[in-house]
Chain A
């Protein structure tokens, strides 16, 4: 255990921010920035994809469906390789590993998140759509003013879990040398050479702490939303108020 402490003492800065300011930003900060950017940029994409998948127009529905199924059916690593290979071809210059990973995450998470959004939209009672249409909203107006605000709120916990998955997926950046937490741990391991168990224990525990706290947050949020959706706050009967309930059967008249 002491060596775990020693490793942490000597390398905490590397684990935290990588080689910054002498090199690119790395470590857990890079992991978190990558995840946050990934999910934030993926979010609008996912809403568009979900709307396209639910749209009444085939031209939109089919490509979106195909995209979602392809992304769901292919490992993230494969997507990374594709982006790594295609993006430089498309824009005509080399891009950093960070950008490659970010693009990958946006596409990948966009597809997964769109399924979350779609589920949220479909879980709303049909009456919401019908009422909005009856009030004169167009299809898009219905979505924008009535459906999405409710669906997205209800889906907050699922989106947060998707964020947690994103954090875990950033580890794959290691394969294309993105300087994030896993990369930093491997650097340390390569320096020390003799303490792989301790290094990877630290790595696993760091991820565990981050993701576990977020999981707890998700569960809290879930309870809160479930509570809110139930509506009414429980009314406590006043202390002195002990009038018995009237009998459902009329009392015989004297």
Chain B
């Protein structure tokens, strides 16, 4: 269900904070937003700013919200209104408990009762419950608040079951610390409150792109529970300043419009992700300085690998078969035989003019670059494919459900994880390519092993010549391994091995 199908939205607690931000964003997206809050003055400001429809109604006024729900068909319901009275149950007062239950829980239940049946009937809608990390774990002395938020959390899970089979999404957002007025409401509007709850945490938000990227990434990783990270953002609120909000938003696959699980990534076509190519280029760059053609070999294998991967993941059956055959051939035939096949076999089929040109231009080297490059491409494409397949299908679904396009979900969610999964295998195969270049000696390329044989047969100092070559190979291989180890640690997905 594309976002653009939604026409109307109801946002409670709209006068400030997350609510106001949500109203602003949804209005910007072109929805007719009904903003509900107690304070008429602030609502009027908001209406002037965003063009929303203000309703100065207390969310716990059942009669008021019933009337509103009967008047308007809402496509989006954002249950945002919330209050808190700090203090454990040991110090709680009767009025505080009733207030919290009324606003945080009863109002949400009634609004769902009033609005969701209409959504189900129209087969279109999205309920967003702004609960809190308080629904999941304790942060000290807000017993009633925790209890109501946990209730909303469970309600969200039940709603998904209630709406199952209909294109009604249910998203629960569990904000962490968000710089809104709630701290002022709860702890008194003072300089001290601001310092204690907001200011000290500002640094975390300002750390720039890398941090944001990581947050988002980690969020997507929890995708089976519901992609988050971007949620607060998606809902238009300010980014949580501290705790990477443990967001339990779980999105119902909206009916038939979502690709079925399992097939989801079969049809994926990766976009050329700069981060991804960056990593591999990086690995490639390590070789470039080593010895003659190795850098070029790797780069060649690399580019082929990318193309092959793309083809293999396309729905086209014939192309897929062809690439599978290609990969299978290169994996099941010894590299030396592949080299010979190119050098002796394919070479003999070429037109005479081309044969002559090749012979004049170091045919051994060119053909071994081609052979090793093609072979390595097969390995690289398999590495990247398994990297992509190792990303759970739920990730793609969650990304799509969040409104990412096809390319967007690849770019921001799938590929960053896939390339990280693939790094160790890519490094291993880079090392083996580096070592396989010694095979070119068998067809007469003047590479390191060949040079050593020459030196040996001229000088008869076998031991020295072999030692030098061995050390050279070893240093390069270990260097590649070390860089690979560093890369995979550096880009490891947090929480995995």
Q: Is A203 an interface residue (CB 8 A)?
A: yes
Task: Enumerate chain B residues within 8 angstroms of A189, measured Cβ to Cβ.
Answer: 344
A171-B334, A200-B340 known; A69+B478 contact, CB < 8 A: yes
Bound Cα distance A167, B335 (Å)? 11
Find out whether the CB atom of B470 lies under 8 angstroms from the CB atom of A182.
Answer: no
| Given A171-B334, A196-B345, A75 and B466 contact (CB-CB distance below 8 Å) | no
**Interface membership of B341, Cβ < 8 A:** yes
Interface string of B336-359 (1 = CB under 8 A from A): 111011001111110000000000
When chains A and B are docked, how far (Å) is the Cα of A153 from the Cα of B341? 37
* B16 CB, nearest partner CB in chain A, Å: 40
How far apart are the CA atoms of A171 and B337 in the complex, in Å? Answer: 8
Residue with the highest number of chain A CB atoms closer than 10 Å, among B334, B345, B436, B469: B334
Check if A74 sits within 8 Å of B477, measured CB to CB: yes
Chain B's closest residue to A31 (CB) is B334
A201-B345 contact in complex given A74-B470, A182-B336, C-beta closer than 8 Å: yes
A192 to B476, CA, bound (A): 41
Cα separation A76 to B348 with both chains bound (whole Å)? 29
Q: Residues of B contacting A124 with CB < 8 Å?
A: none
Set B334, B345, B438: member contacting A75, Cβ < 8 A? B438
Closest to A210 in B: B332
In the complex, B449 has a CB within 8 A of chain A: yes
Interface residue? B462 (CB, 8 A): yes
Q: A78-B473, A207-B337, A212-B328 are in contact. Are A200 and B442 (CB under 8 A)?
A: no
**What is the distance, in angstroms, from B157's C-beta to the closest C-beta of chain A?**
15
Whole-angstrom distance between the Cβ of B464 and the nearest chain A Cβ: 12
A interface size (C-beta, 8 A):
36
Q: Look across to chain B and name the residue whose beta carbon is closest to the beta carbon of A164.
A: B332
Decide if B474 touches A215 in the complex (CB within 8 Å).
no
Encode contact with B along A187-227: 1 for CB under 8 Å, 0 otherwise. Answer: 00100000011111101100110011001000000000000
User: Do B470 and A82 touch across chains, with their CB atoms under 8 A apart?
Assistant: yes
Q: Please determine whether A75 and B341 come into contact, CB atoms closer than 8 angstroms.
A: no
Secondary structure dominating the interface of B: helix
B439 at the interface (CB under 8 A from A): yes
Bound Cα distance A207, B332 (Å) = 7
Q: A82-B470, A208-B333 are in contact. Are A77 and B478 (CB under 8 A)?
A: no
Q: Is B466 a contact of A197 with CB atoms below 8 Å?
A: no
A168–B332 Cα distance when bound, in Å, is 8
Q: Could you give, for residues 457-478 of chain B, a 1 whenever the CB lies within 8 Å of some chain A CB and a 0 otherwise? A: 0000011001001100110111
Within the assembled complex, what's the spacing in Å between the Cα atoms of A131 and B338?
A: 50
**Does the CB pair B473–A200 fall under 8 Å?**
no
Q: Is A60 at the interface (CB under 8 A from chain B)?
A: no
* Residue contact A200 to B332, C-beta cutoff 8 Å: no
Is there a chain A Cβ closer than 8 Å to B331's Cβ?
yes
**A77, B470: Cα distance in complex, Å:** 10
Known: A74-B473, A85-B462. A197 touches B449 (CB 8 A): no
- The 8 A CB mask of B44-79 against A (1 = contact, 0 = none) is 000000000000000000000000000000000000
- Given the known A-B contacts A78-B466, A171-B337, A175-B442, are A208 and B473 also in contact in the complex, defined by CB atoms under 8 Å? no
What's the Cα separation between A170 and B453 when bound, in Å?
Answer: 20
| Distance (whole angstroms) from the CB of A59 to the closest CB of chain B | 23
B341 in complex: contacting residue of A70, A73, A201, A215, CB < 8 Å: A201
Contact B334 A182 (CB under 8 A): yes
| Smallest CB separation, A178 vs chain B (Å) | 12
Q: What is the CB-to-nearest-CB distance from B379 to chain A, in angstroms, rounded to a whole number?
A: 12
A195 to B: closest C-beta gap in Å: 8
**A residues within 8 A CB of B439?**
75, 77, 172
Task: Give residues 266-295 of B contacting A (CB, 8 Å).
Answer: none
Q: How far is the CA of A169 from the CA of B347 in the complex (A)?
A: 24
Q: Evaluate contact between A203 and B438: CB separation under 8 angstroms.
A: no
Q: Is B341's CB under 8 angstroms from A78's CB?
A: no
Question: In the complex, which residues of chain A have a beta carbon less than 8 angstroms from the beta carbon of B336?
Answer: 171-172, 174, 182
Is the CB of A140 closer than 8 A to any CB of chain B? no
Interface residues of B in 303-333 (CB under 8 A from A): 328-329, 331-333
Is A81 part of the contact surface with B, judged by Cβ < 8 Å? yes
Q: Is A72 an interface residue (CB 8 A)?
A: yes
Q: A85-B462, A197-B346, A197-B348 are in contact. Are A77 and B341 (CB under 8 A)?
A: no
Specify the chain A residue showing the minimal Cβ separation from B329. A208
Contact B466 A85 (CB under 8 A): yes
The answer to the question of B155 belonging to the interface, with a C-beta cut-off of 8 Å to chain A, is no
Contact B337 A78 (CB under 8 A): no
Q: A78-B466, A196-B348 in contact; A204/B341 too (CB < 8 A)? A: yes
Contact A197/B349 with A182-B334, A212-B328 known, Cβ cut-off 8 Å? yes
Known: A75-B438, A78-B470. A204 touches B449 (CB 8 A): no
For the complex, give the distance between the alpha carbons of A81 and B348 in Å: 30
Contact B344 A78, beta carbon cutoff 8 Å: no
A126 to B473, CA, bound (A): 37
Are A77 and B441 in contact, with the CB atoms below 8 A? Answer: yes
Residue of B nearest to A196 (CB): B344
Distance in angstroms between the alpha carbons of A211 and B347 in the assembled complex: 25
CA distance A168 to B431 in the complex (A): 17
Cβ of B478: which chain A residues have Cβ within 8 Å of it?
Answer: 69, 73
Q: Which residues of B contact A75 (CB under 8 A)?
A: 435-439, 449, 473
CA distance A186 to B333 in the complex (A): 16
- Which residues on B sit within 8 Å (CB–CB) of A208? 328-329, 332-333
**A189 CA / B348 CA spacing, docked (Å):** 12
B481: CB under 8 A from chain A? Answer: yes
Would you give the shortest CB distance from B286 to chain A, in whole angstroms?
Answer: 14
**Chain A 3-16 near chain B by CB (<8 Å), digits 1 or 0:** 00000000000000
One of B340, B349, B436 near A182 (C-beta < 8 A): B340
In the complex, what residues of B have CB within 8 A of residue A175's CB? 441-442
Closest to A167 in B: B334
Q: List 22 A-B contacts (CB under 8 A).
A: A70-B470, A73-B431, A73-B478, A74-B470, A75-B473, A78-B449, A81-B452, A81-B453, A85-B466, A171-B336, A172-B336, A175-B441, A196-B344, A196-B347, A196-B348, A197-B344, A200-B340, A203-B337, A207-B334, A208-B332, A208-B333, A211-B331
> Which residues does A use to contact B, with CB under 8 Å?
69-70, 72-78, 81-82, 85, 164, 167-169, 171-172, 174-175, 182, 186, 189, 196-201, 203-204, 207-208, 211-212, 215
B interface, CB within 8 angstroms of A? 328-329, 331-338, 340-341, 344-349, 431, 435-439, 441-442, 449, 452-453, 462-463, 466, 469-470, 473-474, 476-478, 481
The 5 closest A-B pairs by CB, nearest first: A73-B477, A211-B332, A168-B334, A75-B438, A200-B345
Excluding A81-B453, A171-B336, A204-B329, 19 further A-B contacts by CB distance (< 8 Å) are A72-B481, A73-B473, A74-B435, A75-B435, A77-B439, A81-B449, A82-B466, A168-B335, A171-B334, A172-B439, A186-B340, A196-B345, A203-B341, A204-B338, A207-B332, A207-B333, A207-B334, A211-B333, A215-B328
